Amino acid sequence: MATSDFIDECRIQVCGGDGGRGCASFRREKFVPKGGPDGGDGGRGGSVIFEGDEGMATLLDTHHRKHYRAKRGDHGRGAQKTGHGGEDVVVRLPLGTVVKDDESGETLCEVLKNGEQWVAAAGGRGGWGNIHFATSTNRTPREFQPGEPGQDRWLRLELKVLADVGLLGFPNAGKSTLVSRVSAAKPRIANYPFTTLHPNLGMVEIGDTRFVMADIPGLIPGAHMGTGLGDRFLRHVERTRSLVHLLDPEPPLRGDESRGLLSDYRALRHELASYSSDLVDRAEIVCIAKSDLVPDEKRELLSEELTNAGIDVRWISSSSGEGISELVQELAKDMQSA
Ligand SMILES: Nc1nc2c(ncn2[C@@H]2O[C@H](COP(=O)(O)OP(=O)(O)OP(=O)(O)O)[C@@H](O)[C@H]2O)c(=O)[nH]1
Ligand SMILES: [Mg+2]
């Protein structure tokens, strides 16, 4: 998917159709000069309906087309004919879409299942025809009701991809490389930060177990407040069951004083905690990536500040394969026990 095609936020207007007007008419029969009322009811306006579609991966469609209006109901007619209902408009959305009221920010619905429907804007009820207004004292009522207006509102759509495992790390830590190693996903990989600009999902299969791993763009300090769009990226790992945190040994190896494994780890945990208490409590596996680049004699030096701080780390390399199958097996075990 081209980067510009991945859209995970948009605002749209949804309007249900108005109900049709009720009818005021009287029966006409031979030899009956003044028949009773026979005006039918107006038809119901169509609704705008959201439907989950597992084949969609982005909010691109709703980003381009912002207004959805269902048809109005037909007016009632004589001879007790009810107007036809207006046609519904079905808007298909990717699974994982959160629907919020644009004004209040309140979450109204989460689209999680394929085919699941939700009424985004209800059509208005049709008005009553004059047959409903006949009484013992008024046998020739001329009253009828107008149709009710359809619901009209602005909604905010936010996509949170559905994945079991989320990959976290600073830019360039090797997240995309890992997902490409353990799944068939082919994300862009390059030796500079911010290569990944939108989440990539990879399906990992091991024995009978399958799970989805989400590679997100790299995070930097301030991510929870939106620095580097971090808050938008963190949203995509909110629904995961566990996290894999990749630490990049390259900066400390080349003597970059501003970056160390423990300080990187803490900086990222700080972002998680500031973003959501849920995320910081989620099960996580901490890995030092690119182990093939670290000479044996430097391993202990690099890992000991983490182990001294009580952080359980493992070494992995998407190049040599070290630690990869153990990691995948452990994640699979977590999935089975969940
Ligand atoms: N030697 C070695 N290089 C690796 C390994 N994993 C990743 N790399 C390299 O590290 C660089 C960054 O890899 P990416 O997978 O693009 O990193 P990322 O974390 O997805 O980066 P962003 O998308 O920018 O956040 C690339 O040049 C990779 O080839 C590894 O296990 N060993
Ligand atoms: Mg990447």
With bands split at pLDDT 50, 70 and 90, how would you rate the model's confidence at 213?
A: very high
Dihedral angle of Cα 172, 323, 294, 320, to the nearest 10 degrees? -80
Residue 4 confidence (pLDDT): 57
Average pLDDT of every residue of the chain? 91
Digit-coded pLDDT (tens) for 268-313: 999 999 988 888 889 999 999 999 999 999 999 899 999 999 999 9
The whole model's pTM is what? 0.77
Q: What is the CA(332)–ligand 1 centre distance, in A?
A: 23
Digit-coded pLDDT (tens) for 224-270: 877 777 787 888 888 898 999 999 999 999 989 888 999 999 999 99
The atom of ligand 1 lying closest to the CA of 177 is 15
Q: Which ligand is nearest to the CA of 182?
A: 1
The atom of ligand 1 lying closest to the CA of 188 is 16
Q: Are strands 242-247 and 165-169 parallel, antiparallel or unpaired?
A: parallel
The two structure tokens encoding residue 44: 């119901």
319 ligand 1 Cβ < 6 A: yes
What residue ranges define each of the domains in the chain, with the CATH number in brackets?
Answer: 7-159 (2.70.210.12), 165-337 (3.40.50.300)
193 ligand 1 Cβ < 6 A: yes
More confident residue, 124 or 194: 124
Residue 239 confidence (pLDDT): 84
Residue 190 confidence (pLDDT): 85
Q: Are strands 9-15 and 152-159 parallel, antiparallel or unpaired?
A: antiparallel
169 ligand 1 Cβ < 6 A: yes
From CA 98, how far away is CA 100, in angstroms rounded? 6
Average pLDDT on 183-211 reads: 86
